[in-house]
């Protein structure tokens, strides 16, 4: 059987089988945004890794090396933010064709170093090896979090409200623009492309949310809102109802959709790579959470609620239709 028959998530399940973990060391292994380890100090150690491959995650022709470098760090910072932590140090592994230009690699590292400065990350190591194929870039990011600030995806409780930190669908609109080779001067194009090619992580929003003590579950939106919300619901053993009219669709997505004829709500629900945070919280914490997000320069958008019935996972449309929640994000092996 080829792996495309079981898909990315089937593969991860297969690989995770039979792994023995030392409970004195490991708080969380495979299955959240980052691994969580005990160390002998008061803080927990966080570790996460993300790989970007040429032709799959990026095209040489549409991404500048600076953007690629910056994004490779950002997507990992977003995973640390989704645990309530702060990043500390990164290791970068790079496979490169021998014929690549020094200038290109230098620019890639300029982007990596810029992101390190923005997010307070120490670039401490890595590996550079040659490749017979294309470019592969793997960033492993370490971080730390106080035990009472750690937020898992598995803590959602019935009655929780579901919030996001910002507009969605802009990154998918940018990707669509690139894939159709549309004019980059279109209205909304600059914003959508920036969202896709050089996203930012909601690090301070995640930190501030964690410090309120009111947030029960948290994911970053890398694979698409519905996919992330389903992960929270499944890990927490609860159901969830999203309200379509409350999803904050990125204005750039509306603008691009006028040209492409797509539904911008689909981009917001399934597109991914917006790197906003989605989280559940007790309703009485709403004021504190609004203040925490305002301090981090973003605002609370309530998009649904957590329910007790774990079979109940759907989106509620203004016309009364209910659609089941589906994880339609990118799957690497389907």
Span 20-49, contacts to a copy of itself by CB under 8 A? 20-22, 25-26, 28-30, 34-35, 37, 39-43, 45, 47-49
Binding of residue 228 to a copy of itself (CB under 8 A):
no
Q: Judged by CB under 8 A, which of 8, 234, 246, 262 binds a copy of itself?
A: 8
Residue 319 Cβ vs a copy of itself, minimum distance, rounded to whole Å = 38
Spatial separation of the C-alpha atoms in residues 47 and 315, rounded to whole Å: 33
Spatial separation of the C-alpha atoms in residues 222 and 163, rounded to whole Å: 16
Cβ distance to a copy of itself smaller for residue 109 or 267: 109
Binding of residue 2 to a copy of itself (CB under 8 A):
yes
Residue 156 Cβ vs a copy of itself, minimum distance, rounded to whole Å = 22
The dihedral over CA atoms of 110, 114, 115, 119, expressed in degrees to the nearest 10, equals: 150
Q: Judged by CB under 8 A, which of 64, 107, 136, 316 binds a copy of itself?
A: 136
Residue 97 Cβ vs a copy of itself, minimum distance, rounded to whole Å = 9
Span 99-128, contacts to a copy of itself by CB under 8 A? 99-103, 105-106, 109, 113, 116-117, 120, 122-128
Span 239-268, contacts to a copy of itself by CB under 8 A? none
Number of residues that bind a copy of itself (CB under 8 A): 81
Cβ distance to a copy of itself smaller for residue 91 or 182: 91
Residue 90 Cβ vs a copy of itself, minimum distance, rounded to whole Å = 9
Residue 193's nearest CA partner among 42, 54, 64, 55 is 64
Number of alpha carbons in the 13 Å side-chain half-sphere of residue 100: 23
Span 149-168, contacts to a copy of itself by CB under 8 A? none
Residue 172 Cβ vs a copy of itself, minimum distance, rounded to whole Å = 19
Binding of residue 179 to a copy of itself (CB under 8 A):
no
Binding of residue 6 to a copy of itself (CB under 8 A):
yes
Pairing of strands 122-130, 86-96: parallel
Cβ distance to a copy of itself smaller for residue 108 or 249: 108
Residue 37 Cβ vs a copy of itself, minimum distance, rounded to whole Å = 6
Residue 248 Cβ vs a copy of itself, minimum distance, rounded to whole Å = 28
DSSP lists the bridge partners of residue 144 as: 45, 86
Q: Judged by CB under 8 A, which of 80, 95, 208, 210 binds a copy of itself?
A: 95
In this structure, how many other beta carbons lie within 10 angstroms of the beta carbon of residue 19?
A: 9
The angle subtended at Cα 155 by Cα 299 and Cα 80, nearest 5°, is 60
Residue 247 Cβ vs a copy of itself, minimum distance, rounded to whole Å = 28
Binding of residue 221 to a copy of itself (CB under 8 A):
no
Spatial separation of the C-alpha atoms in residues 256 and 253, rounded to whole Å: 5
Cβ distance to a copy of itself smaller for residue 136 or 260: 136
Binding of residue 142 to a copy of itself (CB under 8 A):
yes
Residue 32 Cβ vs a copy of itself, minimum distance, rounded to whole Å = 9
Number of alpha carbons in the 13 Å side-chain half-sphere of residue 227: 19
Cβ distance to a copy of itself smaller for residue 51 or 64: 51
Binding of residue 15 to a copy of itself (CB under 8 A):
yes
Spatial separation of the C-alpha atoms in residues 109 and 29, rounded to whole Å: 30
CB-based contact 303:238 (threshold 8 Å): no
Q: Give CA separation, 277 vs 48, 116, 153, 314, in Å.
A: 17, 20, 11, 19
The dihedral over CA atoms of 177, 180, 185, 189, expressed in degrees to the nearest 10, equals: -10
* DSSP states of 282-316: -GGGHHHHHHHHHHTT---EEEEEEES-TT-EEEE
């Amino acid at each position: 059987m080829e792996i495309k028959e079981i898909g990315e998530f089937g593969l991860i399940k297969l690989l995770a089988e039979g792994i023995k973990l030392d409970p004195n060391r490991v708080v969380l292994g495979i299955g959240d945004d980052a691994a969580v380890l005990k160390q002998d100090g008061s803080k927990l150690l966080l570790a996460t890794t993300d790989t970007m491959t040429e032709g799959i995650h990026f095209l040489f022709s549409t991404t500048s090396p600076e953007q690629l470098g910056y994004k490779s760090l950002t997507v990992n910072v977003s995973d640390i933010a989704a645990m309530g932590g702060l990043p500390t140090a990164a290791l970068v592994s790079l496979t490169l064709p021998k014929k690549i230009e020094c200038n290109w690699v230098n620019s890639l590292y300029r982007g990596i170093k810029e992101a390190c400065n923005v997010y307070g990350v120490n670039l401490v190591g890595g590996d550079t090896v040659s490749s017979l194929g294309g470019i592969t870039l793997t960033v492993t990011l370490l971080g730390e979090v106080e035990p009472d600030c750690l937020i898992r995806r598995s803590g959602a409780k019935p009655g929780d409200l579901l919030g996001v930190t910002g507009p969605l669908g802009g990154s998918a609109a940018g990707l669509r623009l690139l894939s159709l080779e549309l004019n980059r001067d279109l209205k909304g194009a600059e914003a959508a492309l920036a969202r896709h090619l050089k996203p930012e992580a909601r690090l301070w929003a995640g930190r501030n949310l964690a410090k309120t003590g009111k947030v029960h579950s948290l994911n970053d939106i890398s694979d698409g809102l519905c996919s992330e919300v389903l992960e929270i619901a499944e890990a927490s053993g609860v159901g969830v109802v999203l309200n379509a009219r409350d999803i904050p669709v990125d204005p750039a997505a509306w603008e691009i959709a006028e040209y492409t004829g797509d539904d911008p709500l689909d981009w917001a629900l399934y597109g991914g790579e917006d790197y906003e945070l989605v989280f559940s919280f007790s309703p009485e914490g709403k004021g504190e959470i609004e203040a925490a997000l305002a301090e981090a320069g973003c605002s609370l958008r309530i998009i649904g609620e957590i329910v007790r019935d774990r079979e109940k996972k759907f989106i509620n449309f203004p016309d009364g239709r209910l659609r089941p929640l589906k994880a339609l994000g990118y799957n690497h092996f389907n």
